[in-house]
Every structure is written in structure tokens, then in C-alpha cells.
Copies of this chain bind each other. A is one copy, B any other.
Amino acid sequence: MNEITRIRSDFPILQREIKPGVPLIYLDSAATSQKPSLVLDSMSEYYARHNANIHRGVHTLAEEATELYEAARGKISKFIHARSHTEVIYTRNTTEAINLVAYSWGRKFLKPGDIVLLTEMEHHSNLVPWHILRDSIGIELKFIPVTADGLLDMAEYEKLLQLEPKLVSFTHASNVLGTINPVQEMARSAHRAGALVLVDGAQSVPHFSVDVQQLDVDFYAFSAHKMLGPTGIGALYGKRELLEKMQPFMGGGDMIREVRLEGFTANELPYKFEAGTPAIAEAVGFGSAVDYLTQIGMDAIHQHELEITKYAYSLLMNLPGVTLFGHEKQKRGGVIAFEVAGIHPHDVAQLLDSDGIAVRAGHHCAMPLHQKFGIPATTRASFYMYTEKSEIDKLILGLKKVQKLFG
């Protein structure tokens, strides 16, 4: 409790009032996290003292900027336990990381009729890149079904693997159901069946310790903005052997070794995939976010979120007229999506907002999952290291008021 007060004081926005006397209750961290001063200060400091373009510069600022940019990559690489910092490619976000694989690996190694296996619980980021690829080169998409209680159907998964997909791509943690998928086992099965594995880590890396070597995944994608870092930057982890065989994605400065009018030769990893002036200040902020997370400790963060989620789950479950999605017994990530009978999620969210409570309403970029459950939209509360039990109490109170108003 002391600890969480201290943590909250590191986040300037948590001092904000939405209206005079109405403090912000931020329960939308799955959409994007808030940022501690450490992260903001590191970026301001970068701009105020070191700002320069990187890699090709000889002068002091260029050297400092390059060092900061690469030091951040080193931190991120260590954070996810990559073998080498050359396996960490900066992207704009999770979405770009997945698109990079679809373009650079997919267009080189997939042929018409090849199967890419996805799941029904994917975020649009892990669906649409494959739709685009299918429409352009004729691959086939299959989906691991989601069971009624929000888990992946593992028996079906094993059957689908018999179709010999070339790639299995799925989320580590669902941003709607809270489900945490058994990545290690799924990767093992996939590899046994000869498939590569891409994992969408947007909702996992921010919340618990991830070891890409131990999980033995081939690609892993995540976003800084969901893990205390700035917008505009994310990362793709990829195994070196794979990244080396892939074709470049975007062309331009920095990703080349040599350019002539007639053609170019690509740069070494990781630069091969970083075209043009990158998000330098954002990389610095990303590195500081990792510093902050490491300092608090990923296990402590996970523990806190499990507790908050359990607390919220049990209170919400006991609210009449409220239906929760996802499996209750399973260890869940800190997101709870629910329906309030007879009241549209937009109305729920807007009424809660007038009490300062920020929740999300909609399909949360998982329309197919909502279609599966036969509802167009849900309300979602999501938690992070700075979420307090008292905020959950206010959410419950708020929901009761909404129900009364519509009653």
C-alpha cells in the first residue's frame, strides 16, 4: 500500500482531476499505459542535451545520440532475454512488427496455398496483415477456435497442426478475455509440426516476465506505449537466422550497406529493417520504461495485477445484470470485459466517465471475437501496476449508479 502510493506518485497524470473534485480513475491501461516521470524526463533530457541524427555522425551529439539509442536496444533485448541485441528491431508498434514479418518473411517464404494458423481471439493487428498477405499472394488462413470459457481449444489446435501450417501466429495474452495462452507448449507443438511461431506480446511484456529463448518463439512483437514507454515505438524480436534470411521491408537510409543507382546491398542486423531516421527519443524513453519496470520488478507487478484482477472479478461477478467474459479460474491478465444487461457499453463508459472513471467500450479491436460471442461491443476495465483497490470500489459504485439511471 505504501509501495503503490509511491508508485502512483511517479505518474504525473494520476494527479489529474477530470473535473474539479473528480480525480481520474484510469482503468484503460490495456489500450495504453500511463508514463512515469522517469520516462518523460529521459526524453526531455535527450532533446535538451543530446539530440542529433544517429549512426553516421562523427560529432559529439551524434555519438551520444547513437549510444543512447543503442543502449536502449540493449536494455530491451535483456528485458525479453534475447540472445543478442541484433535480434531486436525497432518498429512503430506491435502492429508494424507483425506487418514486418508478413511482408519480409511472408512474401519471401510463403507460396499460394500455404497455411498460416491464427486464433479467434486475435487483435486486428494479428488478423489484417494476414488478410492483406492472403489477398496478395494467395495463402490460406485457419483459426484456432476459442472455447465458450475463453480459452484456445488445444485439441483443435493439435488437429490444425496436422495441416502443416507454415506459421502459427497468436497472442500471448488476450486484450479482451484476459486469457494467458500457454506459449511454450504451443510453440513446441508448432515446431514439431514444422511451423514457425510469431507471438503478439502487446499484452504480456508489459505485465509479466517474458523470456523469448525459454518460450522458444521465432518472432515476438510488442509496443512501448503499453509498458510505460512513449508512443511511436515498439519492437520485433526475431531469431537471428530468420531475420538474416528475410528480405528488407522498407528501403532508405540506415538499412543499407551500399547504394548505387543500379541497386543496393542491405545493412547488417538489426539496421537492415530500420529505414530512415528512427524514433530516437522514443527509443531512449522505451529504454527508461524498461529501467522503471525492472526496478519495480516484473514479478511484483504481475502479483499486484493478479490480486487487483481477482478483487475486481469477484466484485463484478456479484453485480446483478453484469456478465463477465473470459475464464474465471485461469490465471488471468489484468483485463475484464463485461456486459451490463440492457445498457450499451458506450452509455456505460460515458456515464462512468462523468465520475472520472476511464474504461473502454467497443470491440477492442477484436471484432471477430465479439462476433463469436454474439455481441457487438463490451465494456472493458483494465489494470496496471498503479491500479488501487479503492479504484475498483469506485468502478463498482459507478456501475450501480449507471444501472439505477437506466433502471
The complex is assembled from copies of this chain, and their number is 2
Closest beta carbon of chain B to A236's beta carbon, Å: 13
Interface contact B129-A250, CB-CB below 8 Å: yes
Task: Determine whether A51 belongs to the interface, using a CB cutoff of 8 Å to chain B.
Answer: yes
B residues within 8 A CB of A47?
12-13, 35, 40, 230
Task: Give the CA-CA distance A69 to B145 in the complex, in Å.
Answer: 37
B residues within 8 A CB of A98?
252
Task: Determine whether A73 belongs to the interface, using a CB cutoff of 8 Å to chain B.
Answer: no
Task: Determine whether A1 belongs to the interface, using a CB cutoff of 8 Å to chain B.
Answer: no
Q: Which residue of B lies closest to A130 (CB)?
A: B251
Contact of A252 (CB < 8 Å), options: B51, B99, B136: B99
Stretch of A88-96, A186-194, A313-321, A388-396 with 4 or more beta carbons under 8 angstroms from chain B: A88-96
Q: List 18 A-B contacts (CB under 8 A).
A: A13-B47, A28-B53, A31-B57, A31-B62, A57-B360, A59-B357, A60-B356, A96-B250, A96-B276, A127-B261, A127-B264, A128-B252, A143-B261, A232-B278, A232-B279, A232-B282, A258-B367, A279-B279
Q: Could you tell me which A residues sit within 8 Å of B by CB distance?
A: 12-13, 16, 18, 24, 26, 28, 31-32, 34-35, 40, 43-44, 47-53, 56-62, 92-96, 98-99, 102, 107, 120, 123-125, 127-132, 135-136, 141, 143, 223, 225, 230-233, 247-248, 250-253, 255-256, 258-261, 263-264, 275-282, 346, 349-350, 352-353, 356-362, 364-365, 367-368, 371
